C-alpha cells in the first residue's frame, strides 16, 4: 500500500488503512472503494493523505504496525479524554495513563523486530492527540534500544504521552494557523512547555522526571532552545529522547501550513539536526527503529534497476526485499521478479525515488504520494 495525497486520489481507488476522525469515528474504512463524493468529504474534513492499495502489486503488501490498531485507538481516545478533562476540571487520571503506557510497552517488547513504517492519518483537529501517541511509541522504542528497564520506560512513556499537554491552554486557532505566526503568537506557543510542567508537577503519583519532559522537550542540544536555554546533557535524557521523537513524527504529519515529508526527507532533516538541535546518540537510537525504505517505496538499486520495496529487514534496514519493475534501460518489465538485497553484498539501494523521478519515468501509477 502507498500513502497518497488527497489531490492525487481518484475514484475506484481502494483504501488500505482506515482513516479516523475523533476518537474512533471511521471516515474511510479499509477496503472502501473511493468515490468523488468520498474524496471531497475527506478533503473537507482536513484529511490530507490516505493509504491506498496498489493494484499493480501481484500480492498483498501491507506493512505491519508496531502496535495493534485497537491499542492505538484506545490510547488516542484516552489522551483526548485526559486532555479535555484536565482542561475543564483540572484533573488527570495518572493511573489510567500509566496503565495504557504499560500496555504499549508490553506490545513493543513483544514485537521488537518490527520497524516503524506507518504514520497515523487523522484530521488536522485530531493532530495533537495522535501526535502524542506516536511520540510515546517512538520514545519507548528508543528507550528499549537504549536498554532502559521497565520502570524507566514507564517514566519515559508517561512523560512522552503528556509532553504537549500544555497546548490545551493555547488557542486552537493559533495551534492550527495555516499562515506564519506573529512573534506574539509564537511566544504564546512556546509557553506550552511551562503550562505543561505546572499542570503535571503537583501530581504525587507522577514522576517529576516525567513532568520535566513537558518542560524541557524544546530545549536544544546547542543551548538555543526554550524555555531555559539548557545545553547538552544538562537537558534530562528523557526530554532529549522525546525531542527526537517529537521532531520525527511532526515531519511525517500533514499540517495546515505544509504537507508531510517523506520518510527519507525526514531522516535527512534529523541527520542535519543531530548535534545541533538534537542529541546525536538518541537520533541514532530512534533511526535504528525506522524502516529507511518502507514497504511500498520505489527505489533504484546500484544495477540501475527500479523496484518496489516488498519487505524490510530489521537487521540490515538498508537492504530490503524488492520487486523489480523497471530495468536499467528504463523499460517497464512485463514480468517482474523479486530480489532480497541482504543476499547480495555488491547490490544496494542508491536512492529512493522522488516525485520528479516518478514523473520522468512515467511511473505515476505506482506512486502518487
Q: Tell me how many domains the chain contains.
A: 3
pLDDT score of 119: 65
Closest CA to 127 of 197, 62, 176: 176
pLDDT score of 213: 98
Judgement on whether residues 9 and 91 belong to the same structural domain of the protein:
no
pLDDT score of 124: 60
Instruction: Assess contact for 351 and 297: CB atoms under 8 A.
Output: no
3-state DSSP of 142-166: HHHHCCCCHHHHHHHHHHHHCCCHH
Judgement on whether residues 111 and 223 belong to the same structural domain of the protein:
yes
Please give the C-alpha separations between residue 135 and each of 120, 132, 156, in angstroms, as whole numbers.
11, 5, 11
Sequence-ordered alpha helix ranges (H) in the chain: 36-44, 69-89, 94-110, 127-145, 150-161, 172-175, 183-190, 192-200, 208-216, 237-252, 263-273, 280-287, 355-360
Judgement on whether residues 253 and 126 belong to the same structural domain of the protein:
yes
Q: Does residue 292 fall inside a structural domain?
A: no
Q: What is the CA radius of gyration of the chain?
A: 21
End-of-domain residue from the set 236, 261, 287? 287
Judgement on whether residues 152 and 16 belong to the same structural domain of the protein:
no
Cell digits of residue 288: 535504528
Q: Does residue 369 fall inside a structural domain?
A: no
Contacts of 342 (CB under 8 A, 6+ apart): 313, 315, 316, 319, 321
Q: Does residue 281 fall inside a structural domain?
A: yes
H or E segment and range at residue 168: none
3-state DSSP of 43-91: HHCCCCEEEECCCCCCCCCCCCCCCCHHHHHHHHHHHHHHHHHHHHHCC
Cell digits of residue 145: 534500544
| Residues 177, 271: Cα–Cα separation, whole Å | 28
Q: Does residue 197 fall inside a structural domain?
A: yes
Write out the residue range of the structural domain in which residue 40 sits: 2-52
Judgement on whether residues 30 and 134 belong to the same structural domain of the protein:
no
Judgement on whether residues 199 and 315 belong to the same structural domain of the protein:
no
pLDDT score of 349: 94
Instruction: Assess contact for 325 and 308: CB atoms under 8 A.
Output: yes
Instruction: Assess contact for 308 and 300: CB atoms under 8 A.
Output: no
Judgement on whether residues 116 and 213 belong to the same structural domain of the protein:
yes
Dihedrals phi, psi of 287, to nearest 5 degrees: -60, -30
pLDDT tens over the chain, length 369 residues: 667 788 888 898 888 888 877 655 778 888 889 999 999 988 887 787 888 876 555 445 566 778 887 888 888 888 988 888 887 777 889 999 999 999 999 999 988 778 887 666 666 667 888 899 999 999 999 999 999 999 999 999 999 999 999 999 998 889 878 888 899 999 999 999 999 999 999 898 999 999 999 999 999 999 999 999 999 999 999 999 999 999 999 998 877 777 788 888 899 999 999 999 999 999 999 999 998 888 877 899 999 999 988 888 878 888 999 999 899 888 888 888 999 999 998 999 998 886 556 556 665 455 433
Judgement on whether residues 13 and 82 belong to the same structural domain of the protein:
no
Q: Does residue 306 fall inside a structural domain?
A: yes
Amino acid at each position: 500500500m502507498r500513502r497518497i495525497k488527497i489531490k492525487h486520489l481518484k475514484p475506484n481507488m481502494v483504501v488500505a488503512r482506515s482513516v479516523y476522525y475523533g476518537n474512533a469515528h471511521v471516515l474511510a474504512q479499509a477496503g472502501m472503494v473511493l468515490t468523488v463524493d468520498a474524496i471531497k468529504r475527506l478533503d473537507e474534513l482536513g484529511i490530507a493523505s490516505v493509504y491506498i492499495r496498489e493494484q499493480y502489486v501481484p500480492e498483498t503488501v501491507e506493512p505491519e504496525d508496531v502496535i495493534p490498531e485497537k491499542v492505538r485507538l484506545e490510547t488516542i481516545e484516552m489522551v483526548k479524554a485526559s486532555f479535555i478533562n484536565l482542561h475543564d476540571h483540572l484533573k488527570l487520571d495518572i493511573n489510567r495513563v500509566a496503565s495504557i503506557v504499560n500496555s504499549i510497552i508490553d506490545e513493543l517488547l513483544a514485537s521488537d523486530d518490527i520497524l516503524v513504517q506507518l504514520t497515523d492519518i487523522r484530521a488536522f483537529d485530531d493532530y495533537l492527540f495522535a501526535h502524542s501517541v506516536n511520540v510515546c511509541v517512538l520514545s519507548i522504542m528508543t528507550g528499549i534500544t537504549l536498554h532502559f528497564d521497565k520502570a524507566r520506560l514507564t517514566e519515559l512513556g508517561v512523560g512522552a504521552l503528556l509532553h504537549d499537554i500544555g497546548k490545551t491552554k493555547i488557542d486552537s486557532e493559533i495551534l492550527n494557523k495555516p499562515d506564519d505566526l506573529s512573534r506574539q503568537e509564537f511566544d504564546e506557543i512556546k509557553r506550552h512547555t511551562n503550562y505543561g510542567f505546572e499542570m503535571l508537577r503537583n501530581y504525587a503519583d507522577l514522576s517529576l522526571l516525567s513532568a520535566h519532559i513537558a518542560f524541557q522537550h524544546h530545549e536544544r542540544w546547542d543551548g538555543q532552545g526554550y524555555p531555559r536555554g539548557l545545553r547538552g546533557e544538562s537537558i534530562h535524557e528523557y526530554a532529549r529522547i522525546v525531542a527526537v521523537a517529537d521532531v520525527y513524527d511532526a515531519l511525517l504529519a500533514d499540517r495546515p501550513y505544509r504537507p508531510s515529508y517523506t520518510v527519507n526527507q525526514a531522516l535527512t532533516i534529523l541527520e542535519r539536526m543531530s548535534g545541533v538541535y538534537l542529541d546525536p546518540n538518541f537520533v541514532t537510537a530512534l533511526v535504528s527503529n525506522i524502516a529507511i525504505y518502507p514497504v511500498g517505496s520505489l527505489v533504484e538499486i546500484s544495477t540501475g534497476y527500479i523496484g518496489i520495496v516488498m519487505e524490510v529487514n530489521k537487521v540490515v534496514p538498508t537492504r530490503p526485499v524488492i520487486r523489480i519493475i523497471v530495468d536499467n534501460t528504463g523499460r517497464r518489465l512485463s514480468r517482474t521478479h523479486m530480489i532480497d538485497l541482504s543476499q547480495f553484498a555488491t547490490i544496494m539501494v542508491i536512492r529512493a525515488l522522488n516525485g520528479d523521478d516518478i514523473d520522468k519515468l512515467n511511473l505515476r501509477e505506482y506512486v502518487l504520494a
